């Protein structure tokens, strides 16, 4: 019986490990800096996590369907640059749908390659990361993009506005999370995403059109990226070509931290939101502790490794095993 | 009388998991030079016992002895060094490496500076392969070998160790009859060398052909050991399931209805050619043949997974083209595929979601999945098929093989198909569930379904089918009535030895 309960505790630790580690982090940061657990700081963490969070929502679909999307960072740069450029050329009312259409077209291209041509998603999206970056630079001619009249545009509402005292980016993040959470958990499409990621062959044998499902996941991911680009552009009203650079790994870290398996078939939107918040709080805590901004990159990587390890350990029921 | 020291002895092994006593005081011993069958239904505890023996699980109580030494095995490697060798059903070979490298993986002979001594490696390997009398050499790439020969590589690997006990887990699952003979010769050699052998199989004829004693487990408990010579299939089956089993020839011949499915001159490249048959409502059509005869490929073509190169498919007298499983499902064709875990189920999904997967688009309340309707469907088929699970939330991967198969069957029955195709419906399933599934297939026919059953087991086709199509090398050799056919003529037909007559539609 002792062996049994030890195994159980091990499983529990591994399953809830992230939350336990998170709690320890919070306590340590709060003791180190009383500013950490204040309403202002919590609000600012959520607001700064909103862009990452919106992107992570879409990537959640892709990861559950058993694929990867490493192109979201450079795709977000693209969306931001395009919408800023078009803002002055055709006005915000037309610029926003035009930017969405162009971003969705990129998502559709990835969806075609990964879904219908069945190419490896790692290769395709890693290639797209670079290709879209090139596309953005070509589009902008390598220059930063700025809106001419920064004071007089209503476009700033998505990034800087508030409604009922809550910043609009937070509202957009939470609304999109609620919508996509319901789509994933409650609709036939969501069910198919889990089936395709859990066992694509069995899904095909059940009459599910696997290619179409994967394609749609990439469209959702691109739609989320366009939304994130909109918030980013609206917040700063000007941007470099590399604004989204490196975000793909943070997004993936958040999704995995939330507990989605890289093998596909598991994860939820709610868990991803938790993952986003954990990542945001940890990065904020490190800054408050006075660590250099650049240390974040190292810490983020360590967190990803820990998350993946705990994910595997939870499945095995122990931290180390001689077999996979 | 001097008592022989057992090669391997298990004493009072207990292993519990949350809520389950998987092994309850199991004891038995394997003598040197003995082939000892371990039998039991799925869920009886065989796999758990093997994992305990292999060092993957630690027993809660009891001890394991190899020879006169009590051993504790914390890892699979330790089990191996103690002389307990497994030949698994699923092979674990590096297919890109040579036979020799696979056999000595981790123990390659070395020269100065850590370089591999290839000559010694290949010489040693060829010596072992010579003993096994196999038709390939040490340099062959493992991926180029047949499954049977890959298994021989596993056995050769066992021979390089000082094996005290070798455990064969369903070794014949994917072997042809000729390959089986070779395997049995090798087992006889091991036996002559004084190795103790545990042989796990569901196939009675093999058990009675090669084993000396039989130990039966049921519900995690030891049910007894009998000398093979002193018992028979019926008695062993009764020990395993606690009741007698019906495996008579099917003689029912239901009143058959209209032709539900007709196939004319169907070909698919080299896989099968000029196949023609019909299935009527109320009958079970059996497809019997060797692995690779084209039976599964026909089923996959009917289900839209392959495009035929020629021929027609007629459903209820109307020609149809089926380009995808979604097409097939929409036209009332259902397929219970041969690979339950790979093709039939999403193991990480719960029972209910697996069962309703093909119709999830149709079960809607507004834009959402109607979960209440799903639960109702699950409950209906759980009761009808007697699926044993704590509830619909249970992950399918946690069910026994028999119950998993019933989930797959339930999934396709709930689609209310015109034509139900079952490919190897009882592969790897215990005897008890097997007979339940056979009974179910007969009932479905009686209710007016047109059923196709593909099977590699002759007793199975004879038991469930009304007519039997014998296939050989992609062609239908003959169609028999199951109560008239003799086993000899059936075997001749599937070996390509029968008269080369075209199929006779009944």
Q: Are B399 and B348 contacting, i.e. CB atoms less than 8 angstroms apart?
A: no
Same domain? For B326 and B459 the reply is: yes
Is residue B338 in a domain? no
Is residue B66 in a domain? yes
Tell me what percent of the residues of chain A surpass a pLDDT of 90: 61
Q: Cβ separation of B60 and A4 shorter than 8 Å?
A: yes
- Give residue-wise pLDDT tens across range B447-474: 889 999 999 888 888 889 999 999 988 9
Least confident of A295-304, B249-258, B365-374: B249-258
Long-range contacts of B404-407 (CB under 8 A, 24+ apart): B404/B340, B404/B341, B404/B344, B404/B345, B405/B336, B405/B340, B405/B344, B405/B429, B405/B433, B405/B437, B406/B433, B406/B436, B406/B437, B407/B345, B407/B351, B407/B354, B407/B355
Q: Is A204 on the interface with B (CB under 8 A)?
A: yes
Q: Is A212 on the interface with B (CB under 8 A)?
A: no
Question: What is the band of A1 on the pLDDT scale with cuts at 50, 70, 90?
Answer: very low
CATH number, domain containing residue B327: 3.40.50.300
Domain residue limits at A297? 49-316
pLDDT at residue A11, rounded to an integer: 56
Distance from CA of A91 to the nearest CA of B (A): 35
CA-to-CA distance for A84 and A232, rounded, in angstroms?
10
- Give residue-wise pLDDT tens across range B409-437: 999 999 999 999 999 998 877 777 888 89
pLDDT at residue B1, rounded to an integer: 43
CA-to-CA distance for B325 and B315, rounded, in angstroms?
15
- Is the per-residue pLDDT at A222 higher than 90? yes
Which whole number is the average pLDDT over A166-195? 96
Is residue B2 in a domain? no
Q: For B405, list phi and psi in degrees, rounded to 5.
A: -65, -35
pLDDT at residue B497, rounded to an integer: 67
Same domain? For B48 and B112 the reply is: yes
pLDDT at residue A317, rounded to an integer: 62
Domain count, chain B: 3
Domain count, chain A: 1
pLDDT at residue B177, rounded to an integer: 76
- Is the per-residue pLDDT at A7 higher than 60? no
pLDDT at residue A69, rounded to an integer: 96
Same domain? For B264 and B390 the reply is: no
Q: Are B250 and B224 contacting, i.e. CB atoms less than 8 angstroms apart?
A: no
Contacts B353 to A, Cβ<8 Å: 191, 194-195
Q: Cβ separation of A265 and B328 shorter than 8 Å?
A: no
Six-digit token string for A26 = 């919070």
What chain A residue is nearest to B330 in terms of C-alpha separation? Answer: A207
Q: Cβ separation of B357 and A191 shorter than 8 Å?
A: yes
Is residue A278 in a domain? yes
Nearest-CB residue to A201 (from B329, B342, B411): B342
Distance from CA of A106 to the nearest CA of B (A): 27
Rg (chain A; Cα; Å): 20
- Is the per-residue pLDDT at A221 higher than 80? yes
Q: Is A5 on the interface with B (CB under 8 A)?
A: no
Same domain? For B450 and B390 the reply is: no
Distance from CA of B338 to the nearest CA of A (A): 11
Question: What is the band of B85 on the pLDDT scale with cuts at 50, 70, 90?
Answer: confident
CA-to-CA distance for B276 and B313, rounded, in angstroms?
9
Is residue B337 in a domain? no
Same domain? For B328 and B211 the reply is: no
- Give residue-wise pLDDT tens across range B103-126: 888 788 888 888 889 999 999 999
pLDDT at residue A124, rounded to an integer: 97
- Is the per-residue pLDDT at A78 higher than 80? yes
Q: Is B337 on the interface with A (CB under 8 A)?
A: yes
Same domain? For B319 and B465 the reply is: yes
Q: Which of residues 7-36 of A touch B (CB under 8 A)?
A: 8
Same domain? For B88 and B148 the reply is: yes
Q: Are B222 and B26 contacting, i.e. CB atoms less than 8 angstroms apart?
A: yes
Question: What is the band of B503 on the pLDDT scale with cuts at 50, 70, 90?
Answer: very low
Same domain? For B36 and B121 the reply is: yes
Distance from CA of A206 to the nearest CA of B (A): 5
What chain B residue is nearest to A204 in terms of C-alpha separation? Answer: B325
Q: Which of residues 237-266 of A touch B (CB under 8 A)?
A: 265-266
Q: Which of residues 305-324 of A touch B (CB under 8 A)?
A: 322-323
Same domain? For B89 and B29 the reply is: yes
Q: Cβ separation of B18 and A265 shorter than 8 Å?
A: no
Q: Cβ separation of B368 and A194 shorter than 8 Å?
A: no
Same domain? For B258 and B306 the reply is: yes
- Give residue-wise pLDDT tens across range A123-180: 999 999 999 999 999 999 999 999 988 888 899 999 999 888 889 999 999 999 999 9
Q: Cβ separation of A3 and B60 shorter than 8 Å?
A: yes
The Cβ-side half-sphere exposure at B490, using a 13 Å CA radius, reads 22
pLDDT at residue A200, rounded to an integer: 95
Is residue A30 in a domain? no
Comparison of pLDDT for A20 and B185, the residue scoring more: B185
Contacts B369 to A, Cβ<8 Å: 186-188, 191
CA distances from B63 to B11, B21, B57, B85, B358 (A): 5, 17, 13, 18, 48
Q: Is B77 on the interface with A (CB under 8 A)?
A: yes
What chain A residue is nearest to B348 in terms of C-alpha separation? Answer: A198
Is residue B194 in a domain? yes
Tell me what percent of the residues of chain A surpass a pLDDT of 70: 90
Q: Is B335 on the interface with A (CB under 8 A)?
A: yes
3-state DSSP assignment of residue B256 = coil
- Whether the ipTM is more than 0.95: the answer is no
Nearest-CB residue to A205 (from B335, B348, B369): B335
CA-to-CA distance for B126 and B137, rounded, in angstroms?
6
pLDDT at residue A169, rounded to an integer: 94
- Give residue-wise pLDDT tens across range B17-54: 766 678 889 999 999 999 999 988 766 788 888 888 88
CA-to-CA distance for B327 and A120, rounded, in angstroms?
27
Comparison of pLDDT for B56 and B225, the residue scoring more: B225
What chain A residue is nearest to B408 in terms of C-alpha separation? Answer: A206
- Is the per-residue pLDDT at B148 higher than 90? no
Is residue B225 in a domain? yes
Is residue A36 in a domain? no
Nearest-CB residue to B325 (from A199, A207, A265): A207
Contacts B60 to A, Cβ<8 Å: 1, 3-4
Question: What is the band of A276 on the pLDDT scale with cuts at 50, 70, 90?
Answer: very high
Among B241, B261, B285, which residue terminates a domain? B241
pLDDT at residue A171, rounded to an integer: 94
Is residue B273 in a domain? yes
Q: Which of B350, B351, B354, B305 is nearest to B329 (CA)?
A: B305
Contacts A205 to B, Cβ<8 Å: 303, 305, 325, 335, 337, 343-344
Q: Is A192 on the interface with B (CB under 8 A)?
A: yes
Question: What is the overall mean pLDDT for chain B?
Answer: 87
What chain B residue is nearest to A261 in terms of C-alpha separation? Answer: B348
Q: Cβ separation of B348 and A265 shorter than 8 Å?
A: yes
CATH number, domain containing residue A284: 1.10.3470
Tell me what percent of the residues of chain B surpass a pLDDT of 70: 93
Q: Is A124 on the interface with B (CB under 8 A)?
A: no
Same domain? For B306 and B205 the reply is: no
Contacts A265 to B, Cβ<8 Å: 346, 348-349
Is residue A35 in a domain? no
pLDDT at residue B266, rounded to an integer: 95
Is residue A3 in a domain? no
| Burial class of A139 by CB neighbour count within 10 A (0 to 12, 13 to 18, 19+) | middle
Same domain? For B260 and B393 the reply is: no
Q: Are B273 and B252 contacting, i.e. CB atoms less than 8 angstroms apart?
A: no
- Is the per-residue pLDDT at A312 higher than 90? no
Is residue A32 in a domain? no
Long-range contacts of B267-270 (CB under 8 A, 24+ apart): B267/B308, B267/B309, B267/B310, B267/B311, B268/B297, B268/B298, B268/B301, B268/B306, B268/B307, B268/B308, B268/B309, B269/B309, B270/B474
- Is the per-residue pLDDT at B245 higher than 80? no
Domain residue limits at B490? 250-332+418-506
Q: Is A208 on the interface with B (CB under 8 A)?
A: yes
Is residue B81 in a domain? yes
- Give residue-wise pLDDT tens across range B168-182: 988 887 777 777 888
Distance from CA of B339 to the nearest CA of A (A): 9
Q: Cβ separation of B358 and A194 shorter than 8 Å?
A: no
């Amino acid at each position: 019986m002792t062996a049994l309960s030890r195994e159980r505790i091990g499983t529990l630790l591994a399953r809830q490990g992230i939350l336990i580690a998170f709690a320890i982090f919070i306590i340590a940061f709060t003791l180190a800096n009383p500013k950490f657990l204040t309403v202002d700081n919590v609000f600012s963490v959520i607001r700064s996590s909103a862009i990452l969070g919106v992107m992570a929502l879409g990537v959640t679909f892709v990861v559950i369907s058993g694929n990867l999307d490493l192109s979201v960072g450079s795709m977000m740069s693209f969306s931001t640059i395009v919408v800023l450029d078009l803002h002055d050329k055709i006005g915000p009312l037309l610029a926003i749908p035009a930017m969405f259409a162009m971003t969705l077209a990129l998502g559709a291209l990835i969806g075609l390659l990964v879904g219908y041509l069945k190419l490896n998603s790692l290769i395709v999206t890693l290639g797209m990361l670079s290709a879209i970056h090139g596309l953005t630079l070509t589009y902008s001619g390598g220059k930063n993009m700025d809106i001419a009249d920064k004071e007089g545009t209503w476009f700033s509402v998505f990034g800087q506005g508030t409604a009922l005292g809550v910043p609009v980016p937070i509202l957009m993040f939470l609304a999109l999370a609620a919508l996509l959470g319901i789509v994933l958990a409650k609709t036939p499409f969501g069910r198919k995403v889990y089936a395709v990621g859990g066992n694509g062959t069995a899904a095909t044998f059940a009459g599910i059109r696997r290619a179409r499902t994967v394609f749609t996941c990439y469209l959702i991911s691109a739609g989320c990226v366009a939304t994130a680009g909109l918030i980013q552009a609206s917040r700063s009203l000007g941007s470099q070509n590399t604004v989204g650079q490196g975000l793909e790994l943070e997004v993936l870290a958040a999704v995995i931290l939330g507990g989605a398996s890289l093998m596909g078939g598991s994860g939820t939107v709610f868990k991803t939101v938790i993952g986003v918040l954990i990542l945001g709080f940890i990065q904020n805590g490190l800054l408050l502790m006075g660590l250099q901004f650049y240390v974040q990159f190292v810490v983020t990587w360590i967190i990803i490794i820990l998350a993946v390890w705990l994910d595997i350990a939870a499945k095995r029921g122990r931290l180390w095993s001689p077999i996979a | 009388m001097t008592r022989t020291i057992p090669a391997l002895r298990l004493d009072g092994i207990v292993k519990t998991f949350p809520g389950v006593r998987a092994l309850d005081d199991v004891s038995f011993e394997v003598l040197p030079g003995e082939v000892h069958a371990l039998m039991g239904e799925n869920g009886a505890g065989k796999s758990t016992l093997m994992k305990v023996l292999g060092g993957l699980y630690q027993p809660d109580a009891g001890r394991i002895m190899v020879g006169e030494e009590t051993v504790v095995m914390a890892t699979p490697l330790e089990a191996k060094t103690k002389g307990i060798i497994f030949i698994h059903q699923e092979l674990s070979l590096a297919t890109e490496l040579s036979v020799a490298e696979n056999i000595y993986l981790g123990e390659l002979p070395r020269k100065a500076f850590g370089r591999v001594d290839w000559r010694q490696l290949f010489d040693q390997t060829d010596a072992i392969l010579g003993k096994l009398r196999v038709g390939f050499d040490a340099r062959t790439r493992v991926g180029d070998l047949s499954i049977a020969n890959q298994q021989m590589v596993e056995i050769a690997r066992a021979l390089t160790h000082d094996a005290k006990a070798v455990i064969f887990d369903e070794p014949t699952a994917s072997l042809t009859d000729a390959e089986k003979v070779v395997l049995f010769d090798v087992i006889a050699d091991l036996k002559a060398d004084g190795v103790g052998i545990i042989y796990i199989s569901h196939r009675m004829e093999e058990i009675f052909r090669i084993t000396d004693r039989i130990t039966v487990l049921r519900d995690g408990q030891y049910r007894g050991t009998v000398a093979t010579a002193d018992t028979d299939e019926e008695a062993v089956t009764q020990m395993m399931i606690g009741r007698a089993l019906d495996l008579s020839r099917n003689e029912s011949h239901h009143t058959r209805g209209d032709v539900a499915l007709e196939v004319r001159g169907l070909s698919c490249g080299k896989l099968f050619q000029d196949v023609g048959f019909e299935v009527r409502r109320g009958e079970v059509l059996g497809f019997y043949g060797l692995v690779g005869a084209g039976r599964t490929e026909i089923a996959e073509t009917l289900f839209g997974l392959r495009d035929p190169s020629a021929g027609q498919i007629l459903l209820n007298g109307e020609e149809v083209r089926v380009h995808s499983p979604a097409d097939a499902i929409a036209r009332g064709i259902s397929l219970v595929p041969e690979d339950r875990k790979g093709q039939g189920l999403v193991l990480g999904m719960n029972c209910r979601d697996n069962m309703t997967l093909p119709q999830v688009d149709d079960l809607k309340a507004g834009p959402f999945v109607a979960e209440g309707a799903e639960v109702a469907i699950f409950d209906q088929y759980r009761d009808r098929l007697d699926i044993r699970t704590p509830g619909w939330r249970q992950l399918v991967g946690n069910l026994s093989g028999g119950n998993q198969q019933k989930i797959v069957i339930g999934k396709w029955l709930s689609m209310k198909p015109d034509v139900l195709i079952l490919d190897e419906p009882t592969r790897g399933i215990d005897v008890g569930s097997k007979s339940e599934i056979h009974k179910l297939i007969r009932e479905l026919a009686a209710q007016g379904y047109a059923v196709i059953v593909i099977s590699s087991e002759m007793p199975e086709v004879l038991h469930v089918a009304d007519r039997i199509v014998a296939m050989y090398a992609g062609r239908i050799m003959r169609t028999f009535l199951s109560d008239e056919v003799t086993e000899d003529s059936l075997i001749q037909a599937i070996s390509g030895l029968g008269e080369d007559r075209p199929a006779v539609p009944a």
